[in-house]
Structure 1
Amino acid sequence: MWNVRKAAVIGAGVMGSAIAAHLANAGIPCLLLDLEGLAVKGIAKLKETKPSPLYDPSFLTRIRAGDLERDIAQLSDCDWIIEAVSEKLEIKHNVWARIDSAWRPGIIVSSNTSGLSINDVTSVCSKACREQAMVTHFFNPPRYMKLVEVVPCKDTDPRALAKVARFCEDRLGKGVVIAKDTPNFIANRIGTFAMLATLKAMEKHGLTVDEVDAVTGPILGRPKSATFRTLDLIGLDTFLNVCRNVGEMIEDPVEAAAFSAPAMIEEMVAQGRLGEKSGGGFYRKNNAEKGKDRIQALDPQTMTYGPRKKISSPALEAAKLAKGNAGRLQALLDAADSDRLAAFARDVLEAALCYSAEKLGEIADTSDEIDRAMRWGFNWEEGPFETWDSLGVAETAARLEARGKIVPAPVASMLDKGAASFYSKKEGSLFYYSQGKYKAVEERPEELSLGLLKERGRTVFAADGASLIDLGDEVACLEFHSPHNAIGPGVLSAIRQASEEVDSNWRGLVIANEGRNFCVGANLLLLLMEAENGEWEEIDLIIRQFQQSMRSLRLMPRPVVATPHRMTLGGGVEACLPADRILFAAETYFGLVETGVGLIPAGGGCLAAAVLAAERAEAANLTDVTQPISLLFESIAMAKVSESAYQVKQLGYWRPGDAVVIREETRIAAAKRAVLELDRLGYAVPEADRRVSVGGREAATVLKLAVSSMRRGGYISEHDARIAGKLAEVLSGGDVPAGTAVSEQHLLDLEREAFLSLCGEPLTQARMRQMLATGKPLRN
């Protein structure tokens, strides 16, 4: 394994600084070099950038600014040098010549170019340096975008290429694809073509900006930013430069013409309408407008802005009701002869599918590389070859022929040889078609896929909202799969069933899933319906079941390890805190947020906070728990959510033994290993009648004084203060003296009673309705 003890990034612009930040995220000291003063400014901008390029602001100390003129010799102390200067060959040549002068054997050097030939870039270097040189194209922003394209030059040592690819995956948590040294590599080549094909189809069908974005977002399996919001984020001048770069480097005049930017883009750039960075592009915010929607859309015909319009058609509505990406696309294709928006969608889709197939073998060797590049780099729900398979390769080819279009040669060749799809599954293993035969997609022992395990018949039981899956080595995994992975009666029942099953037959339990988010909380809609109907006994029963389910996890006489990822809110946090250990994906947004809907945690969340405070007071030899409970009170009362797993500690939820897993694909296997380690060390059965030392009336008074001060200052509403007051009483253990050791059930009863009381408040119900309707909290 190659290890990077120190890295250097040359170029302190937006990308260079952000790459340095992500190296710092991975614990790697980094030297950021640029012309005098620029590196210092680049580091300063990292503090202001939102969303933050750093997992934690303290990681900024791992980056040191340097001067390219004075500090060039320091490159010889680095294991990895990343060049991220302007996309102009003469500038890169100047920098690479300097790198070559300081280079020593063993140093890897890479360019973050998004499209220049690495052979051209490295032409000024010695052969020895070129053998350790390649492209590492990070997608922007590097912390959040998964894709890194790694491209060798003609002299690159394959061992160096493999080392860098593996390091980017394992230490930086990236998804790596190996691309060829062709214009704009894989993702930008296909993504730019698809964007231009969309603009040309827009002109052909006479669509508006609103209509195009209504079609080319999630309905087409693309991000919510669709076409024009994406262009505004990229910057129209940047997009124009990418188009020109590809067009100039492609030898085929027909293909080069496909990369000519529409006159509309040229005109907008000339007028300074560059997108978000200039204050307006295809969209702009009208700050003078009063009301909820201040965003205006451009009318390309008049080049003026006006209110956005809600777009609908029978085809779009049918697609929204269809199941999965394939179902949505098929609904659009079925309506393409009668619906103009569906006809537009068909043109956009077919252009992307055909171009991707035509480039197979030229820009990448396998369909798998191209699909992963588009999923990871452009956030497509499916890559182009996965989409070919979803719609049927033969059926799509026949539709193209019926419309007088040429079926791409790789597709025709595959069908002629009797292969029906680009991918094939056999006995739970995935294969991809390449050079006339199917090859197995590499499976790594450090990665576990719940989807593949289920296909291999490893489901122990499947219930409404959750399943238990055999991970091997007598370790089971409880997987949530309810809508949005919300916790409802079905999930709670499955938790209790899993607890009994694991207690009897397994060495331990992992709590994990592969959903978009780990868990967004409890089923708020069900709770609101019961509250509006005055079904207090039913709500009481639901909360008791919630508490009992979480308690069954804590008391299981087997080790439990939770591994949350992405949004882990409310009940999702309460499902993790009973575990013996939590292994967080780096991108975990973790918090007890119930106050945002007018409630307090009642699934054991307040109990867990009280226990954490008591344990910290004991470890610090404090006479009472007021100090440690104050941090947790603030986090819960203000519904704070961590901006990464590393910030969970700042909110007070972190426990000894918890850890962060940067490569998300490995977290389930890592959790399994943690279970086995706990079991091997001799797992102690949890104490059932544990007593918790609480702060009592004295701590509650201190917490309520802080609430009163916030209320008098106008920072919170009267209802906020009421909620916070109840939370203070629960976390402090109720009306008992400081230092009283209470039972867990006492704390559970307190949180349940407070929860029921708040459910009956009209202002709380209004908050719940607002959250369900808009996804945003109501401050009333």
Structure 2
Amino acid sequence: MAYQIKKAAVLGSGVMGSGIAAHLANIGIPVLLLDIVPGKVTEEETAKGLTLEDSVVRNKIAAGALQKLLKQKPAPLTKKSNLSLIEAGNFDDDLDKLKDVDWVIEVIVENLDVKKGLYEKIDRVRKPGTIITSNTSGISIEAMAEGRSEDFKKHFMGTHFFNPPRYLKLLEVIPASTTAPEVIEFMTRFGEDILGKGVVIAKDTPNFIANRIGTYGLLITLREMEKRGYSIGEVDSVTGTLIGRPTSATFRTLDVVGLDTFMHVAKNVYDKTEGEEQKVFELPPFMKKMIDNGWIGAKAKQGFYLKKGKEILELDTDTFEYSPAKKLKTPSIEMAKQQKGLANKVKTLVYADDRTGEILWNILSPTLLYSAELNGEIAVDIVAIDNAMKWGFGWQQGPFEVWDAIGVEKSVAKMNEEGYEIPAFVQSLLDKGYETFYKEEDSERYFFNGADYQLVPVNEKVIDLKLYKKKHGVIKKNSGASLIDLGDGVALLEFHSQSNSIGPDIIQMINFAVDEVEKNFKGLVIGNQGKNFCVGANLGMILMEAQDDNIFELDFIVRSFQNAMMKIKYSSKPVVAAPFAMTLGGGAEVCLPAAHIQASMETYMGLVEAGVGLIPGGGGNVGLYTKHLKGLPKGVHIDYQFVANKVFESIATAKVSTSGVEARENNFLDFADGISVNADHLIYDAKQAAIALFDMGYKAPQREKFPVTGDSGYATMLLGAEGMFLSGFISEHDLKIAKKLAFVLSGGKVPYGTLVEEQYM
């Protein structure tokens, strides 16, 4: 059977259910969102003459969840109009509508009997072949499928999203023994290609993979803190970015998750395990007391941390009093900061003979051992475990990658000295004379499967630039960028300067890359796999030149930048920009002249120079203005002042899109440009776009004049800026910058409608 999902239903409209519905709407899939009928009407509803028979009352729980989506931060929707793709309803009146959907996702209360009762009703109305999944965070998939029809069982599995669904990459797919292999294969591919997720296949065990190991690690950390007298702030200062974990570290993470939620996750494993393992999953007394007090974290505005004014206070779990948060300061922290690469930093810290080394060793060693013990039980291999922790908990390295970093043989020797029992899986690695769980050979990555090394499976759409360069080399590089042959006649210009900021080295490589591509390639992709695409120009360099009054040097830098952007625009071969994450200032200016933009769905793009007292200097003003003109319908009267005002507002307020979709609405992208839901596929998608443009006979655009608003437009924009200044919304310097920007966008002292060239603006 060929599966496809044209419409979906989400059953349960809580934070998770509505978030999943929003993510489906973001990718264009219509969604039916159902929840229970309220038990009674409110006084306000009664006053309006409404009863429990009115649909507005019966659907209000799901409908209310939709309205909350518009207010949530971070935004679950890539644009507010996506809300129109979600239809609210209720279980009593609308369950028969499930016959028209291709996928039903259950996201109701974590109670086996309640879930089974709902599945019985679904089974009666669903059409054969409809895929049914549960977003349970730990209830047995096998148990939930009991008693259902054969076709239901064949199409039933767990699909565990992580919150918030739009932003967190992990999707755990948990098949039952009765799930058809082709359904598992379809949902895996659908999860990666359409939902944009990192999919791991998990086994049907308590809390699956990420929550099982993550919860264990958090509870081990709590016990270690209590046992050895560390403060909450001290623990967080060394369990966050210092070791490749999120900035929220341990206790800020718990505050964000909510201690009440964490309690249920831990209890799920506690109830299904025994012995020493079970003891770990029992909450420490101080956490139980916090829950009893209602100090459950961010949603209660009080948890392990409490904000008073501008000061952050930490809880003393002995006295239950708050005091200013402290940080751990040891020699090993300073030593680690001097190391290159995360692996060397972690290794330095873990073996340090100080309080940092003590706590990190005592946290990491049991977590690594626990991960090894569960390999094969909760996941098919270590790759699934490592990916689950990276994609679900935001770790930069999974447990087995951490183990490789600190040295397997060295760490096991220390574990043996301390009386730990070494899992057979780990011992077999050492017995074979192997040193690491992963190895690279011929630019391919392999993992240890318990017997030997096996090739890490990779989706063909995932291009790992680090491995790719090792295998294919580079055409040319300098400190700021590298030109790489991507194969199939396409080259890639990769930025790798600090923060991917644009300086003379990158400008030099842009010029070289376009020349090289025009001679020897079909097209060029500009992209990278850093934290952000590009955060702008190298402002430090510009500041130094300005402080030294090097006006001619500044003029040369700006002209060089502008000329490089024009080289991109008028290249005889297509140039495709592949932005993602922060694409600010100069980063946006690199994208605007490209023949095509293939943006990640999570692209935060804007010309933000006004925020640092500048106006765009790399062609961003003319680029965004002409993009707005290009997006207007042909053959109708156009108010150029309206266009100029929109661009002026965008640049003067340093407006940044909250998604790639919003970047399109802000005219940084046009409707021919593409958006990749899966960021891991971005380079591949951009490469395909370059090939497609070449195959269609791409020709460089002709240089054309365009209309400006002139004197009258300048006065209009200036009037708005002065009003903002007089109202106290902008500073005197902001007004000065706004005047300069208005002069540029208006075209200066010319009549309204004057046609000008790009170089003029």
**TM bucket, shorter chain:** over 0.9
Distance 2:260 2:271 in 1: 16
Q: Please tell me whether residue 589 in structure 1 is matched to residue 611 in structure 2.
A: no
Report the AA paired with residue 592 of structure 2: L
- Per-residue deviation, residues 76-101 of structure 1 (Å, max 9, x unmatched): 11100000001122221221121122
SS of 1:297's equivalent in the other structure is strand
Conserved 8 A contact 1:609-1:629: no
SS of 1:249's equivalent in the other structure is coil
Q: Which of 556, 570, 591 is equivalent to 1:576?
A: 591
Residue equivalent to 1:102: 125
Aligned CA RMSD, in angstroms, stands at: 1.5
Report the AA paired with residue 368 of structure 1: V
Conserved 8 A contact 1:366-1:434: yes
Residue equivalent to 1:381: 396
Deviation at 1:612, TM superposition (A): 2.4
Q: Please tell me whether residue 280 in structure 1 is matched to residue 294 in structure 2.
A: no
Q: Please tell me whether residue 294 in structure 1 is matched to residue 288 in structure 2.
A: no
Conserved 8 A contact 1:450-1:469: no
Cα–Cα, structure 1 residues 456 and 206, in superposed 2: closer, same or farther, change >3 Å?
Answer: same
Q: Please tell me whether residue 132 in structure 1 is matched to residue 155 in structure 2.
A: yes
Residue equivalent to 2:29: 28
Residue equivalent to 1:307: 324
Distance 2:694 2:415 in 1: 58
Q: Which of 471, 485, 492 is equivalent to 1:456?
A: 471
Q: Please tell me whether residue 200 in structure 1 is matched to residue 223 in structure 2.
A: yes
Q: Please tell me whether residue 215 in structure 1 is matched to residue 238 in structure 2.
A: yes
Q: Which of 351, 358, 364 is equivalent to 1:334?
A: 351
Q: Please tell me whether residue 267 in structure 1 is matched to residue 289 in structure 2.
A: yes
Conserved 8 A contact 2:372-2:426: yes
Deviation at 1:270, TM superposition (A): 0.9
Give the 5 Å matches for 1:694-773.
694-747=708-761
SS of 1:678's equivalent in the other structure is helix
Deviation at 1:738, TM superposition (A): 2.0
Distance 2:411 2:351 in 1: 12
SS of 2:377's equivalent in the other structure is coil
Residue equivalent to 2:171: 148
Conserved 8 A contact 2:664-2:671: no
Conserved 8 A contact 1:16-1:84: yes
Deviation at 1:435, TM superposition (A): 3.6
Q: Which of 263, 275, 279 is equivalent to 1:253?
A: 275
Conserved 8 A contact 2:472-2:485: no
Conserved 8 A contact 1:316-1:342: no
Q: Which of 447, 452, 468 is equivalent to 2:483?
A: 468
Unaligned runs of 5+ in 1: 748-780
Residue equivalent to 1:394: 409
SS of 2:748's equivalent in the other structure is coil
% identity of equivalent residues: 46
Conserved 8 A contact 1:616-1:628: no
Conserved 8 A contact 1:150-1:178: yes
SS of 2:422's equivalent in the other structure is coil
Q: Please tell me whether residue 162 in structure 1 is matched to residue 185 in structure 2.
A: yes
Deviation at 1:624, TM superposition (A): 5.3
- Per-residue deviation, residues 228-275 of structure 1 (Å, max 9, x unmatched): 00000011111111111101111x312111111111111100111100
Distance 2:140 2:477 in 1: 51
- Per-residue deviation, residues 433-458 of structure 1 (Å, max 9, x unmatched): 21412222223333322222101123
Q: Which of 65, 70, 74 is equivalent to 2:93?
A: 70
Distance 2:512 2:380 in 1: 47
Q: Please tell me whether residue 404 in structure 1 is matched to residue 404 in structure 2.
A: no
Distance 2:134 2:631 in 1: 47
- Per-residue deviation, residues 259-305 of structure 1 (Å, max 9, x unmatched): 1111111110011110011110001121xx4xxx3221111121111
Residue equivalent to 2:11: 10
Name which of structure 1's ranges 41-50 and 176-185 shifts more when overlaid on structure 2: 41-50
Unaligned runs of 5+ in 2: 38-59
Cα–Cα, structure 1 residues 656 and 650, in superposed 2: closer, same or farther, change >3 Å?
Answer: closer
Q: Please tell me whether residue 80 in structure 1 is matched to residue 80 in structure 2.
A: no
Distance 1:345 1:657 in 2: 50
Residue equivalent to 1:420: 435
Residue equivalent to 2:264: 241
Residue equivalent to 1:38: 61
Distance 2:338 2:110 in 1: 44
Cα–Cα, structure 1 residues 328 and 734, in superposed 2: closer, same or farther, change >3 Å?
Answer: same
Give TM-score, length-normalised by structure 1. Answer: 0.92
Name which of structure 1's ranges 67-76 and 529-538 shifts more when overlaid on structure 2: 529-538
Distance 1:163 1:601 in 2: 46
Cα–Cα, structure 1 residues 128 and 430, in superposed 2: closer, same or farther, change >3 Å?
Answer: same
Deviation at 1:562, TM superposition (A): 0.5
Residue equivalent to 1:180: 203
Report the AA paired with residue 520 of structure 1: V
Q: Please tell me whether residue 121 in structure 1 is matched to residue 171 in structure 2.
A: no
SS of 1:716's equivalent in the other structure is coil
Report the AA paired with residue 72 of structure 2: T
Residue equivalent to 1:626: 641
- Per-residue deviation, residues 608-655 of structure 1 (Å, max 9, x unmatched): 123224435683533552222221111111100000011113323222
Distance 1:77 1:742 in 2: 55
Residue equivalent to 1:57: 80
Residue equivalent to 1:517: 532
Distance 1:692 1:39 in 2: 49
Deviation at 1:104, TM superposition (A): 2.4
Residue equivalent to 2:50: none
Q: Please tell me whether residue 486 in structure 1 is matched to residue 501 in structure 2.
A: yes
Distance 1:218 1:206 in 2: 22
Residue equivalent to 1:496: 511
- Per-residue deviation, residues 287-332 of structure 1 (Å, max 9, x unmatched): xx4xxx3221111121111222344221112222222211111111
Distance 1:558 1:403 in 2: 63
Give TM-score, length-normalised by structure 2. Answer: 0.95
Conserved 8 A contact 1:624-1:695: no
